Amino acid sequence: MQFTEQYSDKFDCLIQLSNDYNQLSFAAELKLELKKLKNEYLYLAVIGQFKRGKSSLINSLIGIDILPTAVLPLTSMITMIKFGEEQIVNVIFEDDKELLIPGHELFNYTTESGNPSNIKKVRFVEILYPSEFLKDGIILIDTPGIGSLFLHNTKSTESFISKIDAAIFVLSIDPPITQTEFQFFEDIRLNVDKLYFVMNKIDLVSENAQKEVINYTKNILTASNHNLSPKIFPVSAKDASEAKMCNDKALLSQSGITALEDEIKSSIKSEKVSILRNNLQKKLDRFTSRLSFSLELELNALKTPINIFEDKIKQFNYEMDKIIREKKLALYNFNGQIDDLIIGLEIEMSNFNKRQAEGMFNSVTEYLMSLRKARKANLLSLIRDYFASKLTSDFEHWRLKFEARLYQNYLDIIKASALNINELIKKTADISAGLFNISSPLLLEEITFEKPSEFVYRTKDEPLFLEIDMLKIISYFYPRRFFIKLLLSRMKKEVEEKTMVNSGNVFSFYRVSILDTAFKFKYDMDEKTDQIIFYINSTISAALKNISISEQQLEPRLEKTTKDLLLLNSIKLIENE
């Protein structure tokens, strides 16, 4: 590609600077990016909730069962598959050691049962395989599923998102998109420009059911972004794998995999340059920002007497202790506000339940009394239909108004908390810049918040009458007046029970939805604050080590740091042209 050489020079420069100033984690990341750039690789990650069939989909795209699959949540490790003349499986460990293994041993390194909590310290696994799908520089990446009980799996996937260029978001028929998936989608689309949506396991339902689920999913995905127009590919990864193994062209066409493959190959061929360029630019901006901060800190440390610099470090640590206390208070307040929201939800539901049960029974009674001309034998079915319809409409009418208020209250909490934490993150960077006379601003990731998907509520699916069928028989023997009295007595109990059940279902649904999104948001707030403090502390520690150099070494070090800082600034100027 035309821009490869230009970016390669920049990455070589940044790698050298990272090594010179002991920024080894940066150097490692930059080396991976440079390798990817020189080989013109495009990282295409397969992402989604656990047990959606991500590994199965990859197997169907590759044309062989190369990844292990199972009934339980399985993948726990990032696995990268790229083109090679022969199959090779290479395990890369956290200490940079590598181990070639036979394909059947992959299970022992990439799965939760074979490598629980990554006890073997695997960084990722790289597989080479001669697949036509991978020939254009596509590297398929299998990721751990989000939303499983293993939180480290979810975080492993989320931490890898900044490295990918495009993604296949795998959903499935059973069940349709969940709150967790929608929240993950909202996070993904902020970082990944190219997304392909797959509705897997279509072999489990009829064609009409497929269309219904796909339309439902589209509505959910566009709920908070009406400009989005996602194309969803219905696929049976199971049928696709079987078809490729048996060379069954009819089953292959029926599986839907061919349409997905054609779309990916076509779009990546036409958009690969722009996708890679945009992502490389984002990464260069981040790396140059962090390195400029480090070098300027180093330069000021070298110019400052060690006792004064140590005093500044003490002052910085003192200020960071205050920041950490403020963060803990912010998280505590966030928890309290979410708890208050849940308590308010419970009180609202309880009050509505009492009002609804009383009002519903009065409506049922009035309706029953209006059926003077109806045959006694028909009263049961008439009152049953009325009750079902009335319960559904009343709940929906109230729920939609209540949901709007609940949304707003929830988003007000999220927005205020995000603003609070973002201010703390910026304050951390500003304190360090002020104490150590640094002018290079740090590019900081802000906490973002998105409106959750529309909640789904179905009342008609609930069995409304469980015991009342005996009345159909009784109606033939009791006089009308006594039968109506008996019917009302039974209906009063039924109304109270079913109103309570539906209220409880609505409360549980909202409560789980709020707690799920709040938990992830709180985790992000905590993590991002700690990350920036840890980075600045590491940079300060590295600068402190260099202060103790001899006077003979001081002048050359000052000269080199000044020169390197100018070089970094020139790279930033070129980037912004």
Q: Do 94 and 186 sit in the same domain of this protein?
A: yes
- Which tens digits make up the pLDDT trace of 139-193? 998 887 665 433 444 455 556 777 788 899 998 887 778 777 777 787 777 778 7
d(CA 180, CA 517): 7
Range in 41-45, 57-61, 307-311, 513-517 the model is least confident about: 513-517
Give the pairing type, strands 122-129 and 232-234. Answer: unpaired
Q: What pLDDT does 90 receive?
A: 93
Q: Do 321 and 242 sit in the same domain of this protein?
A: no
Q: What pLDDT does 178 receive?
A: 74
Q: What pLDDT does 475 receive?
A: 47
For residue 65, tell me if it sits in a domain: yes
CA distances from 267 to 60, 194, 465 (A): 19, 9, 53
Range in 191-200, 470-479, 486-495 the model is least confident about: 470-479
Closest CA to 540 of 287, 312, 305, 286: 312
d(CA 185, CA 450): 10
444 or 38, which is more confident? 38
For residue 419, tell me if it sits in a domain: yes
DSSP 304: S
d(CA 41, CA 161): 16
- Domain termination residue (choose one: 232, 255, 278): 255
Tokens for 493? 């109990």
508-521: average pLDDT:
81
Q: Do 427 and 312 sit in the same domain of this protein?
A: yes
Which residues, in sequence order, are CB contacts of 527 under 8 Å at separation 6+? none
Evaluate the CA torsion angle 223, 453, 232, 461 in order and state its sign.
Answer: negative
Give the pairing type, strands 122-129 and 79-83. Answer: parallel
Q: pLDDT band at residue 534, thresholds of 50, 70 and 90?
A: confident
Judge contact between 391 and 464, C-beta under 8 A. yes
213-240: average pLDDT:
82
Q: Which among 333-347, 447-461, 496-510 has the top mean pLDDT?
A: 333-347
Q: Do 136 and 220 sit in the same domain of this protein?
A: yes
Count Cα atoms within 13 angstroms, Cβ side, for 27: 10
Q: Do 378 and 311 sit in the same domain of this protein?
A: yes
Phi, psi (rounded to 5 degrees) for 36: -65, -40
461 or 161, which is more confident? 161
DSSP string, 199-248: EE-GGGS-HHHHHHHHHHHHHHHTSS-TT----EEE--HHHHHHHHHHT-
For residue 571, tell me if it sits in a domain: no
**Diameter over CA atoms, the chain:** 113
Q: Is a pLDDT exceeding 70 seen at residue 376?
A: no
Number of domains making up the chain: 2
Tokens for 131? 């697949």
Q: Is a pLDDT exceeding 50 seen at residue 288?
A: yes
Q: Do 74 and 221 sit in the same domain of this protein?
A: yes
For residue 190, tell me if it sits in a domain: yes
Q: Is a pLDDT exceeding 50 seen at residue 306?
A: yes
For residue 76, tell me if it sits in a domain: yes
d(CA 355, CA 193): 49
Place of tokens 């990722």: 124
- Which tens digits make up the pLDDT trace of 543-574? 777 776 666 777 888 888 889 888 888 876 55
- Which tens digits make up the pLDDT trace of 104-153? 888 888 877 788 877 888 888 899 999 989 988 899 988 876 654 334 44
372-397: average pLDDT:
75
Q: pLDDT band at residue 391, thresholds of 50, 70 and 90?
A: confident
Full domain range(s) for residue 190: 41-255
For residue 295, tell me if it sits in a domain: no
Q: Do 477 and 413 sit in the same domain of this protein?
A: yes
Q: Do 229 and 352 sit in the same domain of this protein?
A: no
Judge contact between 266 and 239, C-beta under 8 A. no
Count Cα atoms within 13 angstroms, Cβ side, for 248: 13
Q: Is a pLDDT exceeding 70 seen at residue 330?
A: yes
Phi, psi (rounded to 5 degrees) for 227: -80, -15
Range in 62-76, 313-327, 435-449 the model is least confident about: 62-76
514-529: average pLDDT:
82
% residues pLDDT > 90 (the chain): 13
Q: What pLDDT does 148 receive?
A: 43
26: left (phi over 0), alpha (psi -120 to 50) or beta: alpha
For residue 32, tell me if it sits in a domain: no
Q: Do 241 and 318 sit in the same domain of this protein?
A: no
Q: Is a pLDDT exceeding 90 seen at residue 302?
A: no
Closest CA to 487 of 466, 500, 468: 468
Judge contact between 79 and 67, C-beta under 8 A. yes
d(CA 577, CA 570): 11
Q: What pLDDT does 129 receive?
A: 93
Judge contact between 273 and 3, C-beta under 8 A. yes
Q: What pLDDT does 550 receive?
A: 66
Q: Do 469 and 357 sit in the same domain of this protein?
A: yes
Q: What pLDDT does 156 receive?
A: 53
Neighbours of 146 (CB within 10 A): 24
Q: Is a pLDDT exceeding 60 seen at residue 478?
A: no
Tokens for 75? 């993948």
CATH code for position 234:
3.40.50.300
21-41: average pLDDT:
80
Q: Do 312 and 426 sit in the same domain of this protein?
A: yes
Q: pLDDT band at residue 2, thresholds of 50, 70 and 90?
A: low
Q: Do 61 and 166 sit in the same domain of this protein?
A: yes
Range in 269-283, 408-422, 483-497 the model is least confident about: 483-497
DSSP string, 154-173: HHHHHHHGGG-SEEEEEEES
* Overall size of the chain counted in residues: 577
For residue 425, tell me if it sits in a domain: yes
Q: Break the chain down into helix, strand, coil percent, rounded to 5.
A: 65, 10, 25
Tokens for 388? 């079902």
